[in-house]
């Protein structure tokens, strides 16, 4: 029996309307990318369908006016069912819990999609997902330039510098950096998805805070460095970096995708 506060199913779409950065309606309309976050688990029977939908979204299979950045967070609260998700983490579970609280939901569930930190729906609901993306507020993408270094074989260091392109007020935002990996294939031998071969893309391997800023103009340069511990078999050609601005309510105010240079 699943814990009462967890569920492997869907929920209705819900939106929150708040803001902490100064961006006009016109700028939002012609703004930058929309951040789409999936919360899933290889231990959840319905998550593979959502993973396929998110992979299609990330590779541009849908005709959308708004470009998207996709991140897949694998939670760890289904590991007890019989299959331990190799990409599951408590960090992803904590992030989903923060969205449950911010969006005033009754329960955590998989698969769940959150769009711009403001709208959510079942991860298998293609119509609901595309509708949420279409109606999501858009903000100018930051203009970070990235420098990649390998201080050791087990560590990746990413230095970022650029403008946020949105004026941030006194409430402030956190600049977050996600390291993700695509093209992952797993043979499942136990649990709800036993005997299936699952493919996963845009899997968040690590999420770090670059810095916190407040009372910052849209043109002011912001800089910082994050370090990521690497895993066995790390392959930079399968990875990318997503940078996004997030307020205390976990709403997104601009995001940027950064590709890895060759031979990282």
**CB neighbour list of residue 45: distance below 8 Å, 6 or more residues apart:** 8, 192, 193
How sure is the predictor about 8, in pLDDT bands with cuts at 50, 70 and 90?
A: low
pLDDT, mean of residues 137-142: 95
Question: Are 77 and 225 spatial neighbours (Cβ–Cβ below 8 Å)?
Answer: no
Q: What's the CA gap between 144 and 184, in Å, rounded?
A: 27
pLDDT, mean of residues 9-27: 41
Question: Are 7 and 125 spatial neighbours (Cβ–Cβ below 8 Å)?
Answer: no
Report pTM: 0.89
How sure is the predictor about 168, in pLDDT bands with cuts at 50, 70 and 90?
A: confident
**Any domain includes 1:** no
**Any domain includes 175:** yes
Q: What's the CA gap between 36 and 201, in Å, rounded?
A: 13
**Any domain includes 149:** yes
Question: Are 173 and 245 spatial neighbours (Cβ–Cβ below 8 Å)?
Answer: yes
> How many domains does one find in the chain?
1
CATH of the domain at 171: 2.60.40.150
**Any domain includes 2:** no
**Strand 6-7, strand 108-109: pairing:** parallel
Q: Up-side HSE of residue 197: CA atoms within 13 Å toward CB?
A: 3
**CB neighbour list of residue 117: distance below 8 Å, 6 or more residues apart:** 35, 99, 102, 246, 249, 250, 251, 252
């Amino acid at each position: 029996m699943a814990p009462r506060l967890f569920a492997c199913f869907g929920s209705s779409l819900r939106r929150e309307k708040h803001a902490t950065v100064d961006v006009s309606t016109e700028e939002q309309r012609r703004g930058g990318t929309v951040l789409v976050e999936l919360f899933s688990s290889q231990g959840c029977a319905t998550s593979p369908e959502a993973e396929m939908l998110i992979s299609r979204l990330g590779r541009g299979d849908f005709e959308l006016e708004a470009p998207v950045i996709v991140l897949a967070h694998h939670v760890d609260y289904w590991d007890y069912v019989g299959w331990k998700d190799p990409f599951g983490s408590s960090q992803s579970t904590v992030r989903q819990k923060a969205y449950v609280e911010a969006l005033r939901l009754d329960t955590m569930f998989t698969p769940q999609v959150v769009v711009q930190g403001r709208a959510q729906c079942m991860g298998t609901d293609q119509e609901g997902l595309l509708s949420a993306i279409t109606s999501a507020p858009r903000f100018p993408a930051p203009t970070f330039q990235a420098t990649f270094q390998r201080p050791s074989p087990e560590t990746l260091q990413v230095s970022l510098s650029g403008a946020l392109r949105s004026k941030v007020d006194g409430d402030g935002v956190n600049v977050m950096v996600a390291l993700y990996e695509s093209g992952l294939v797993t043979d499942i031998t136990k649990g709800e998805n036993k005997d299936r071969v699952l493919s996963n893309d845009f899997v968040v391997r690590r999420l770090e805070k670059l810095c916190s800023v407040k009372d910052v103009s849209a043109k002011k340069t912001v800089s910082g460095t994050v370090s990521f511990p690497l895993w066995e078999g790390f392959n930079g050609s399968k990875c990318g970096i997503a940078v996004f601005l997030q307020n205390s309510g976990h709403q997104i105010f601009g995001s940027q995708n950064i590709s890895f240079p060759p031979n990282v």
